[in-house]
């Protein structure tokens, strides 16, 4: 088989690596270590997608490269295998989720092996393995057993939680107090229950009050849930980003999500007793302030105040009303009888809306007046308290002071309800707003500026004002500096079968009702496996988890004479992926989640590659767990992923789209607008049009855009779309491998462009790199012979100077590119090498060997085959990476551009090390330059040795 035949050599070498256990990693690294991790896939029924091999090829190249540089490399692979699709499949077909999952894993494993990745398959694991989720459950117990000590800034065992004196000896109170501090706690939280689908939906699956799939009504009902107190770690999760080698854009996504803000908590006096006009009395307010003056600012607000959080304490004098969220506990209390009906109706409506609906209706502010007033602590003025759903109960204190002059939302609200607008910040000269309009209260300005209408604070600039007033409020016991986060606690339970069961038992009383007392399943009795034989209903009629219908012998447990019911919620898919990188290090350990010695030797993950879709949640959750495990002494470092790279999405092939109406008449793409019914119309005629795929031949570029060749007045859209089944532009790796081979697929995915960029697929591009591999093959192999043998141009001779220079230039460039993960340019370098040596009649064997070694991380199958042909009897996986020789790079002469007034006019040949003087002389001696300089006045001569010469003349 003298022709390059990937279908034969790829399986051959895959078998070789398997049988020789080439990539099995030792327990502990020997010498320098490198832990390279891929985000493990969810093994869907559709199989691998060309997006998967992109990141996997990149990490495989890095691993193979570093092995050749003598590093101990850890490179495992596994499966994020819990998830809803297998459960839905079970409901439809009756096939148990475990069966479906195993089939899908087998398919994924086959596809990954087909691509020749150098994973240590002995470490393979799935989050659904009972031996694995035993430790996921164990970590849950750690979370349950931990409270966050804000003073030390770390998680500590719950029995170290200091107890307030008054509860010390009361068992039930102690229990409650502890439960209130655990990192894992229970909460009644609303879920989206869809009776028609018989399932609980995630927020993003509910659109406009109905399910995304099928459009069935969804109701929000409260359900007991498990929560994880990730907010306790918000500060560390944000700060520690600084020490990580992640792209700024991912860090900023995380920072954004955590959403730290600094401001102040401020108490506004409210009172059940009011004067005739319905406002709190002056005297009682004065008494309150003097009380506060003595007692200071209380940690928890009492019933006599409405506490707000603000990032703009400098605008306190401009607060003309207050707003509390419809769910605020004071709503009822503050509502005056004549407002009761309006407030009730409003709150009821708000309760029915999902968070999403509330924000969708952002355009118009709604709200109702409660009839009550609060007193602004800085100026003693009584201001009305409203209820409005633009204030969220889940952020800050669920109540705000509204400063319409300097907050756009408050401004809109105040305009709608005709509430006074008082400017307290003079924006000065501003490009954003009209200063006079702002001062008159007709325009809103959120900019910093100078304080006005603010009593003794007038004249202060915003930043100083904030500091000063926060200190003053604190002194008078009216407020305090505060920090808030957008990050919410993590809703950690799902009403699904196919997830990790919680190791939690609920105590039952004699009547079989829960007493509210919990008991954990002891760590040494884990795992809690899922019940084996469970029937699945296509839908069930209650939002309770499916495990509620588990067989009784699973569901009920009797311990120490007490009866318990198992927790029937299951953990979310995130749970298993939160710590898999630790288990890979020690996957068979049945004594610990990971042996500390091994953990210390291999962690942290030196390179983590995956899609940007996990930029926020997965990475945040995993970092959170890692920090808890660190605080509790299970792992040595407090960040798991040192370097993170996100591969860009691979889009479908470029498409040209034109628009036609029902009669087949074209409409220019520039004229197309979205119609109300999701369709598209011609803006001018109003006729509906439909997108039509246009062949590339029918299109040409004209100026900035593409137009129809047949009618250049018709503009055509050109873009690549995300691959999707519905668009029919999905590329299947199996297809590419059978057409071109795995090496071509790998090479193409790396050659497309920078790893992190979003890029469109092109089958022609695959055939392009396939052609390159063919040329490499022909450069080394005698294609005309019947037997596999070396090309007769391969000779056992020293390279000549030019050949040697090309060789070492290539080594130098490829090595540098690999260090920077610039795979596309590394491949280009090897193409140049190949183009050069194909023209050489004598190809030194040593040079060919070095190319094969450099190519091996990219196209390992072909490289192994050629390496063998070049006379080696074992794998090249551990051959030393070629080193370049600086001396070989030297050129005798170089070409230097000569410019006149910055324009290229000639190129001269000079010695490589020519100094400025020589260079200048050579430039002036050039015929063309001399001619052009004739009769001109020299203003300046710029000479950069080895680079260029520029004459500035008049």
Partner RNA sequence: GCGAGAGUGGCGGAAUUGGCAGACGCGCUGGAUUUAGGAUCCAGUGGGCAACACCCAUGCGGGUUCAAAUCCCGCCUCUCGCACCA
Map the footprint of RNA across residues 294-353, applying CB under 7 A: 309-312, 325
- Locate tokens 């993960």: which residue? 821
Closest CA to 522 of 176, 155, 134: 134
Determine which residue in the list 252, 471, 685, 909 makes contact with RNA, applying CB under 7 A: 252
Binders of RNA: how many residues, by CB under 7 A? 84
Question: What is the sign, positive or negative, of the torsion defined by CA atoms of 584, 590, 592, 598?
Answer: negative
Q: Write down the least CB distance from residue 336 to RNA, Å.
A: 23
Question: What is the sign, positive or negative, of the torsion defined by CA atoms of 357, 358, 360, 365?
Answer: positive
Q: Write down the least CB distance from residue 921 to RNA, Å.
A: 18
Closest CA to 875 of 861, 890, 895: 861
Site string for RNA, 649-688 (x = CB under 7 A): -----x----------------------------------
Residue placing its CB nearer to RNA in the complex, 260 or 549: 260
Residue placing its CB nearer to RNA in the complex, 292 or 812: 812
Q: Write down the least CB distance from residue 121 to RNA, Å.
A: 32
Determine which residue in the list 461, 637, 730, 838 makes contact with RNA, applying CB under 7 A: 838
Q: Name the burial class of residue 393, with classes exposed (0-12), middle (13-18) and buried (19+) by CB atoms within 10 angstroms of its CB.
A: middle
Closest CA to 456 of 468, 439, 438: 468
**CB-CB contact of 500 with 571 (8 Å):** yes
Residue placing its CB nearer to RNA in the complex, 583 or 809: 809
Q: DSSP secondary-structure letter at 30?
A: -
Residue placing its CB nearer to RNA in the complex, 643 or 775: 775
Residue placing its CB nearer to RNA in the complex, 202 or 904: 904
Structure tokens at 721: 């779309």
Host H or E run for residue 92: helix 84-93
Which one of 99-107, 145-153, 573-581, 823-831 is the stretch in contact with RNA (CB under 7 A)? 823-831
Residue 286, interface with RNA (CB under 7 A)?
A: no
Q: Write down the least CB distance from residue 229 to RNA, Å.
A: 17
Structure tokens at 77: 């692979």
3-state secondary structure of 330: coil
Residue placing its CB nearer to RNA in the complex, 76 or 377: 377
Determine which residue in the list 788, 793, 916, 942 makes contact with RNA, applying CB under 7 A: 942
Q: Write down the least CB distance from residue 323 to RNA, Å.
A: 8
Residue 753, interface with RNA (CB under 7 A)?
A: yes
Q: Which of residues 406-445 bind RNA (CB under 7 A)?
A: 407, 409
Site string for RNA, 145-164 (x = CB under 7 A): --------------------
Q: Write down the least CB distance from residue 356 to RNA, Å.
A: 8
Residue placing its CB nearer to RNA in the complex, 870 or 889: 889
Question: What is the sign, positive or negative, of the torsion defined by CA atoms of 762, 766, 767, 771?
Answer: positive
Q: Which of residues 889-908 bind RNA (CB under 7 A)?
A: 894-895, 897, 899, 901-905, 907
Cα separation, 650 vs 762, in Å, equals 10
- Locate tokens 């502010």: which residue? 365
Q: Write down the least CB distance from residue 757 to RNA, Å.
A: 5
Determine which residue in the list 161, 174, 392, 870 makes contact with RNA, applying CB under 7 A: 392
Closest CA to 49 of 856, 861, 613, 643: 613
Site string for RNA, 105-144 (x = CB under 7 A): ----------------------------------------
Residue 933, interface with RNA (CB under 7 A)?
A: no
842-860 CB burial, b ≥16 within 10 A, e <16: ebbbbbbbbbbbbbbbbbb
438, 444, 447, 449: CA torsion to nearest 10: 30
Which one of 383-391, 536-544, 842-850, 918-926 is the stretch in contact with RNA (CB under 7 A)? 383-391
Q: Write down the least CB distance from residue 217 to RNA, Å.
A: 22
Q: Which of residues 597-616 bind RNA (CB under 7 A)?
A: 612, 616
3-state secondary structure of 225: strand
Q: Write down the least CB distance from residue 566 to RNA, Å.
A: 33
Q: DSSP secondary-structure letter at 683?
A: T
Q: DSSP secondary-structure letter at 603?
A: -
Residue 484, interface with RNA (CB under 7 A)?
A: yes
The vertex-549 CA angle with 554 and 200, nearest 5°, equals 125
Cα separation, 225 vs 255, in Å, equals 27
Residue 774, interface with RNA (CB under 7 A)?
A: yes
Residue placing its CB nearer to RNA in the complex, 216 or 409: 409
**CB-CB contact of 404 with 414 (8 Å):** yes
Residue placing its CB nearer to RNA in the complex, 63 or 769: 769
Q: DSSP secondary-structure letter at 643?
A: B
344-373 CB burial, b ≥16 within 10 A, e <16: eebbeebeebbeeeeeeeeeebbbbbbbbb
Q: Return the axis-axis angle of helices 742-751 and 763-780, rounded to nearest 10°.
A: 120
Q: Write down the least CB distance from residue 699 to RNA, Å.
A: 8
Q: Write down the least CB distance from residue 209 to RNA, Å.
A: 15
Which one of 59-67, 281-289, 356-364, 500-508 is the stretch in contact with RNA (CB under 7 A)? 356-364
Determine which residue in the list 775, 805, 845, 924 makes contact with RNA, applying CB under 7 A: 775
Determine which residue in the list 8, 196, 362, 925 makes contact with RNA, applying CB under 7 A: 362
Residue 486, interface with RNA (CB under 7 A)?
A: yes
Residue 499, interface with RNA (CB under 7 A)?
A: no
Residue placing its CB nearer to RNA in the complex, 319 or 505: 319
Residue 940, interface with RNA (CB under 7 A)?
A: yes
3-state secondary structure of 298: coil
Cα separation, 758 vs 768, in Å, equals 20
Host H or E run for residue 690: strand 688-694
Cα separation, 506 vs 82, in Å, equals 25
Q: Write down the least CB distance from residue 471 to RNA, Å.
A: 18
Determine which residue in the list 772, 777, 837, 858 makes contact with RNA, applying CB under 7 A: 772
Cα separation, 924 vs 931, in Å, equals 9
Question: What is the sign, positive or negative, of the torsion defined by CA atoms of 530, 532, 533, 539?
Answer: positive
Structure tokens at 716: 């055509």
3-state secondary structure of 254: helix
Q: Which of residues 721-740 bind RNA (CB under 7 A)?
A: 722, 739
Q: Write down the least CB distance from residue 389 to RNA, Å.
A: 6
Q: Write down the least CB distance from residue 358 to RNA, Å.
A: 5
Residue placing its CB nearer to RNA in the complex, 530 or 769: 769
Q: Write down the least CB distance from residue 859 to RNA, Å.
A: 14
Q: Which of residues 684-703 bind RNA (CB under 7 A)?
A: 701
Which one of 54-62, 360-368, 841-849, 857-865 is the stretch in contact with RNA (CB under 7 A)? 360-368
Determine which residue in the list 5, 93, 243, 256 makes contact with RNA, applying CB under 7 A: 256
**CB-CB contact of 804 with 890 (8 Å):** no
Residue placing its CB nearer to RNA in the complex, 471 or 705: 705
What are the counts of helices (DSSP H) followed by strands (DSSP E) for the chain? 30, 42
Residue 825, interface with RNA (CB under 7 A)?
A: yes
240 forms beta bridges with none
Determine which residue in the list 107, 261, 275, 453 makes contact with RNA, applying CB under 7 A: 261
Residue 764, interface with RNA (CB under 7 A)?
A: yes
Q: How many residues does the chain have?
A: 954
């Amino acid at each position: 088989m003298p022709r390059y035949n990937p279908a034969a050599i790829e399986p051959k070498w895959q078998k070789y690596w398997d049988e020789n256990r080439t990539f099995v990693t030792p327990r502990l690294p020997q010498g320098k270590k490198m832990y390279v991790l891929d985000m493990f896939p969810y093994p869907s029924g559709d199989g691998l997608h060309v997006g998967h091999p992109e990141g996997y090829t990149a990490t495989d190249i890095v691993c193979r490269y570093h092995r050749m540089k003598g590093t101990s490399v850890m490179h495992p692979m596994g499966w994020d295998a819990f998830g809803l699709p297998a459960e839905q499949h079970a409901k439809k077909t009756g096939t148990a989720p475990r069966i479906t999952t195993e089939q899908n894993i087998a398919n994924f494993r086959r596809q990954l092996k087909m691509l020749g990745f150098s994973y240590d398959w002995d470490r393979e694991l799935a989050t659904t393995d009972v031996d694995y989720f035993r430790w996921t459950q164990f970590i849950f117990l750690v979370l349950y057993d931990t409270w966050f000590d804000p003073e030390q800034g770390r998680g500590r065992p719950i029995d170290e939680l200091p107890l307030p004196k008054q509860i010390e000896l009361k068992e039930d109170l102690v229990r409650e107090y502890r439960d209130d501090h655990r990192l894992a706690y229970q909460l009644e939280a609303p879920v989206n229950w869809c009776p028609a689908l018989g399932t609980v939906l995630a927020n993003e699956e509910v659109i406009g009050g109905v399910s995304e799939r099928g459009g069935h009504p969804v109701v929000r009902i409260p359900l007991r849930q498990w929560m994880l107190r990730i907010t306790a770690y918000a500060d560390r999760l944000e700060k520690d980003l600084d020490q990580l080698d992640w792209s700024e854009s991912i860090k900023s996504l995380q920072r954004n999500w955590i959403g730290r803000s600094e401001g102040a908590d401020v108490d506004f006096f409210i009172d059940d007793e009011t004067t005739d006009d319905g406002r709190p009395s002056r005297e009682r307010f004065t008494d309150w302030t003097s009380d506060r003056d003595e007692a200071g600012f209380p940690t928890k607000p009492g019933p006599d105040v409405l506490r707000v959080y603000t990032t703009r304490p400098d605008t306190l004098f401009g607060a003309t009303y207050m707003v509390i969220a419809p769910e605020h506990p004071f709503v009822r209390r503050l509502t005056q009888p004549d407002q009761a009906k309006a407030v009730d109706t409003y709150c009821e409506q708000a309760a029915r809306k999902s968070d999403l609906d509330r924000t969708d209706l952002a355009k118009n502010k709604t709200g109702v007046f409660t009839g009550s007033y609060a007193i602004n602590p800085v100026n003693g003025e009584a201001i009305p308290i409203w209820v409005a759903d633009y204030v969220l109960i889940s952020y800050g204190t669920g109540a705000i002071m509204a400063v319409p002059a300097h907050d756009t939302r408050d401004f809109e609200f105040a305009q709608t309800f005709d509430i006074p607008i008082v400017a307290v910040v003079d924006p000065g000269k501003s490009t954003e707003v009209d200063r006079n309009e702002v001062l008159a209260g007709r325009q809103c300005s959120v900019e910093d500026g100078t304080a006005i209408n603010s009593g003794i604070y007038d004249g202060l600039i915003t930043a100083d004002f904030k500091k000063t007033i926060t200190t003053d409020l604190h002194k008078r016991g009216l407020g305090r500096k505060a920090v808030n986060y957008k990050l919410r606690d993590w809703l950690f339970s799902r009403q699904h079968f196919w997830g990790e069961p919680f190791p939690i038992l609920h105590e039952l009383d004699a009547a079989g009702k829960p007493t509210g007392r919990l008991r954990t399943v002891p760590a040494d009795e884990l795992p809690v496996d899922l019940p084996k034989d469970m029937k699945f209903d296509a839908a069930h009629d209650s939002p309770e988890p499916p495990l509620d219908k588990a067989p009784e012998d699973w569901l009920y447990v009797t311990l120490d004479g007490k009866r318990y019911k198992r927790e029937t919620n299951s953990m979310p898919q995130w749970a298993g992926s939160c710590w898999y990188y630790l288990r890979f290090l020690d996957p068979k350990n049945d004594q610990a989640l990971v042996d500390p010695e091994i953990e210390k030797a291999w962690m942290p993950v030196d390179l983590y590659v995956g899609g940007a879709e996990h930029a926020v949640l997965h990475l945040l959750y995993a970092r959170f767990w890692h920090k808890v495990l660190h605080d509790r002494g299970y792992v040595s470092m407090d960040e798991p992923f040192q370097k993170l790279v996100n591969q860009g999405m691979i889009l479908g092939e470029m498409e040209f789209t034109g628009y036609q109406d029902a009669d087949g008449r074209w409409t220019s793409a520039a004229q197309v607008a979205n119609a109300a019914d999701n369709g598209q119309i011609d803006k001018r005629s109003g006729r509906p049009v439909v997108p039509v795929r246009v062949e590339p031949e029918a299109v040409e570029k004209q100026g900035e855009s593409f137009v129809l060749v047949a009618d250049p007045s018709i503009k055509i859209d050109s873009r690549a779309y995300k691959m999707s089944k519905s668009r029919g532009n999905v590329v299947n790796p199996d297809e590419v491998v059978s057409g071109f081979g795995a090496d071509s697929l790998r090479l193409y995915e790396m050659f497309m462009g920078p790893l992190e960029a979003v890029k469109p697929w092109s089958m022609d591009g695959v055939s392009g790199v396939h052609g390159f591999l063919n040329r490499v093959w022909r450069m080394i192999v005698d294609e005309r012979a019947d037997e596999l043998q070396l090309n007769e141009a391969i000779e056992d001779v020293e390279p000549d100077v030019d050949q040697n220079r090309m060789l070492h230039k290539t080594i130098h460039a490829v090595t540098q590119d690999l260090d920077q993960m610039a795979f596309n340019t590394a491949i280009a370098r090897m193409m140049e090498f190949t183009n050069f040596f194909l023209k050489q009649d004598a190809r030194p064997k040593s040079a060919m060997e070095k190319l094969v070694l450099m190519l091996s991380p990219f196209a390992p199958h072909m490289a192994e085959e050629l390496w063998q042909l070049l006379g080696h009897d074992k794998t090249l996986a551990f051959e030393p990476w070629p080193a370049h020789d600086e001396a070989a790079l030297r050129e005798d002469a170089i070409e230097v551009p000569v410019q006149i007034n910055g324009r290229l006019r000639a190129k001269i040949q000079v010695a490589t090390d020519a100094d400025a003087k020589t260079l200048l002389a050579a430039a002036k001696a050039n015929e063309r330059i001399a001619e052009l300089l004739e009769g001109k006045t020299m203003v300046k001569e710029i000479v950069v040795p080895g680079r260029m010469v520029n004459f500035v003349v008049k």
